[in-house]
């Protein structure tokens, strides 16, 4: 019951106004509910710089430290072009993200944008893809962390973690213990609160940028022109196949949009953070890839773990530099796990507030402003996934889910421009509607380049998601039940 002086909660249109699968949540309602969870609220504490560091932290690292070793054998030296293609594909979608983040500054990212424009079913599908993007990429990134940890340990104390406990089933081991450990460490740090987490993340991002600049400087001295002589040995198909794999490297630039309810000035800062982070990451990726394939024949990348550390050792003739690179990679990849895990918890927070996933994911600790149960559940799930599944399968599955979600964001921009042309926007996509149309087509093109197994995994994931929605979400949606989206402070988690 409401007090007579209390304003009623925002509710959706009557249920008869739209088919359940098409019911939409108005932009004003999304924004008004921002930050509110079960018994508490997220705290607005993040600056534009910290938002940029979250996006860089979620993006920069794995693609260049780990996935480069898988992509180079697919494209040869032309893997540099693959990075550019993947970056341009991400850019079109980044422009759409920037417009929507400035207009709808909430934690749900593309899930919330789809809810406001295309209806609940499409929003659920997008959210389910984001769970694949963020949750599974945490696990995939964590798998690569153990490779560089072993390189670091070998160079410093002369020991490595036994393969039986540092590789999953199917790759010579039983469990990837380092991958599990790094996810659990990220989980513990995220319990401290958004502001404290952002400080830790900024330090780690600074370390990995310095590490990559060091690699570029030293690796440049080892470039041999002969390594570029047959620049595109595997043709166009090789370039596009590598681009599909490398798109995984750009996952995370949208992480700032998941912090929409914890940013101090989201309408101004979110678009800037998204674009700045993508620019910094793309420049570093292309430079590092160019130097790497120039310093080591592309054929030697296949089956090579910790390729950049090996290049540093080969160029200088001293294992010390390889150890330095490995130490930087350990920090770099840990920061990706940290930032992406943060994004996953905020996506589930928004979906919980809408009633599409259980309330536990939206319960906020009143003291720290953190959805603690959410963080623990996601951390344990991702840690288990990282400990048992090989990297390659995870990376490709994550890419296809991300591409699908990005495609929907481009569609959402077009719909919102036509349905709400007068809505205030702090950033606008240029060359509209050409840019979002190109973004949508680019996502489809890269998706098409992925192999049949990846599509089968994606199809299975979507099928499971639809079953969950029709058995759970469609009836428990707060637009269906007209249930308020917040609870009284007395119910806050202690």
Residue 61 three-state SS: coil
DSSP percent split of the chain into helix, strand, coil, nearest 5 = 70, 5, 25
Enter the CATH code of domain 48-487.
1.20.1740.10
Confidence of residue 291 (pLDDT cuts 50, 70, 90): very high
Cα dihedral 324/329/330/333 (nearest 10) = 170
- Residues 6+ away with beta carbon under 8 Å from 239: 75, 78, 79, 81, 82, 85, 232
- The beta-carbon contacts of 161-168 under 8 Å, at least 24 apart in sequence, are 168/143, 168/387, 168/388, 168/389, 168/390
In this structure, what token pair is assigned to residue 275? 């674009």
Q: Report which of residues 55 and 136 the model is more confident about.
A: 55
pLDDT of residue 13: 41
As a whole number, the mean pLDDT across the chain is 82
Look at the block and give the residue holding tokens 């009623």.
Answer: 8
Q: How confident is the model at residue 62 (pLDDT cuts 50, 70, 90)?
A: low
Residue position matching structure tokens 């341009």: 88
pLDDT at 10: 40
- Beta strand spans in 168-232 (E): 175-176
Between 20-34, 289-303, 408-422, the lowest mean confidence (pLDDT) is in: 20-34
Q: What is the pLDDT of residue 2?
A: 36
User: pLDDT at residue 4 above 70?
Assistant: no
Q: Which of 11, 43, 5 is nearest to 367 (CA)?
A: 43
pLDDT at 14 over 50: no
pLDDT confidence bin for 339, thresholds 50/70/90: confident
Q: Say yes or no to pLDDT of 87 above 90.
A: no
Domain edges within the chain: 48-487
pLDDT in tens, 168-186: 776 777 888 888 899 999 9
CB 247 within 8 A of CB 402: yes
Closest CA to 394 of 171, 163, 132, 90: 132
Who contacts 18 (Cβ-Cβ below 8 Å, separation ≥6)? 24, 119
Q: Decide: 132 and 401 in contact? Cβ < 8 Å.
A: yes
Q: What is the pLDDT of residues 262-287, one digit of tens each?
A: 888 888 899 999 999 999 999 999 99
Q: What is the pLDDT of residues 347-358, one digit of tens each?
A: 898 899 889 999
Compute the distance between CA of residue 21 and CA of residue 185 in angstroms, rounded to an integer: 39
CA-to-CA distance for 377 and 360, rounded, in angstroms?
Answer: 9
Q: Would you state the structure tokens that stand for residue 223, as one six-digit string?
A: 């470039």
Q: Position of tokens 């166009």?
A: 236
Q: Name the pTM for this structure.
A: 0.81
User: What pLDDT is stored for residue 196 in this prediction?
Assistant: 80
Least confident residue range of 29-38, 109-118, 359-368? 29-38
Of 17 and 51, more confident:
51
Is residue 183 within 8 Å of 139, Cβ to Cβ? yes
303: left (phi over 0), alpha (psi -120 to 50) or beta: left
């Amino acid at each position: 019951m409401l007090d007579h002086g209390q304003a009623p909660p925002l509710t959706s249109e009557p249920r008869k106004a739209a088919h359940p699968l098409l019911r939409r949540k108005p932009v004003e309602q999304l924004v008004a509910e921002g930050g509110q969870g079960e018994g508490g609220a997220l705290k607005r504490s993040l600056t534009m710089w910290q938002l940029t560091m979250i996006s860089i932290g979620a993006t920069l690292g794995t693609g260049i430290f780990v996935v480069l070793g898988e992509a180079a054998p697919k494209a040869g030296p032309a893997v540099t072009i693959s990075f550019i293609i993947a970056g341009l594909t991400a850019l079109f979608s980044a422009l759409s993200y920037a417009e929507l983040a400035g207009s709808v500054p909430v934690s749900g990212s593309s899930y919330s944008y789809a809810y406001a424009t295309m209806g609940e079913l499409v929003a659920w599908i997008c959210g389910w893809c984001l769970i694949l993007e963020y949750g599974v990429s945490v696990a995939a990134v964590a798998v690569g962390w153990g490779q560089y940890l072993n390189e670091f340990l070998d160079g410093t104390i002369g020991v490595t973690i036994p393969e039986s406990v540092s590789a999953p089933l199917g790759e010579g081991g039983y469990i990837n213990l380092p991958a599990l450990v790094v996810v659990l460490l990220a989980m513990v740090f995220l319990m401290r609160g958004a502001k404290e987490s952002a400080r830790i993340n900024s330090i780690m991002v600074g370390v990995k940028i310095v590490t990559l600049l060091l690699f570029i400087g030293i690796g440049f001295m080892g470039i041999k022109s002969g390594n570029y002589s047959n620049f595109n040995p595997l043709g166009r198909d090789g370039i596009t196949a590598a681009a599909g794999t490398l798109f995984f490297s750009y996952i995370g630039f949208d992480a700032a949009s998941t912090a929409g309810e914890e940013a101090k000035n989201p309408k101004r800062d979110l678009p800037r953070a998204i674009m700045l982070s993508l620019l910094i990451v793309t420049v570093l990726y292309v430079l590092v890839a160019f130097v790497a394939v120039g310093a080591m024949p592309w054929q030697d990348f296949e089956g090579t773990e910790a390729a950049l550390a090996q290049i540093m050792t080969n160029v200088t003739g001293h294992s010390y530099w390889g150890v330095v690179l490995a130490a930087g990679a350990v920090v770099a990849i840990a920061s990706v796990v940290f930032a992406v895990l943060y994004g996953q918890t905020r996506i589930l927070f928004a979906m919980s507030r809408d009633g599409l996933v259980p309330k536990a994911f939206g319960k906020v600790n009143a003291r720290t402003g953190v959805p603690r149960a959410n963080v623990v559940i996601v951390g344990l799930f991702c840690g288990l996934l990282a400990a048992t599944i090989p990297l390659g399968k995870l990376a490709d599955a994550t890419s296809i889910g991300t591409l699908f979600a990005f495609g929907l964001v481009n569609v959402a921009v077009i719909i919102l421009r036509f349905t709400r042309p007068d809505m205030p926007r702090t950033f606008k996509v240029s060359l509209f509607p050409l840019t979002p149309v190109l973004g949508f087509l680019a996502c489809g093109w890269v998706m098409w380049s992925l192999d049949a197994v990846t599509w089968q995994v994606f199809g299975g994931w979507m099928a499971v998601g639809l079953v969950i929605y029709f058995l759970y979400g469609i009836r428990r949606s707060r637009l269906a039940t007209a249930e308020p989206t917040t609870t009284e402070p007395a119910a806050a988690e202690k």
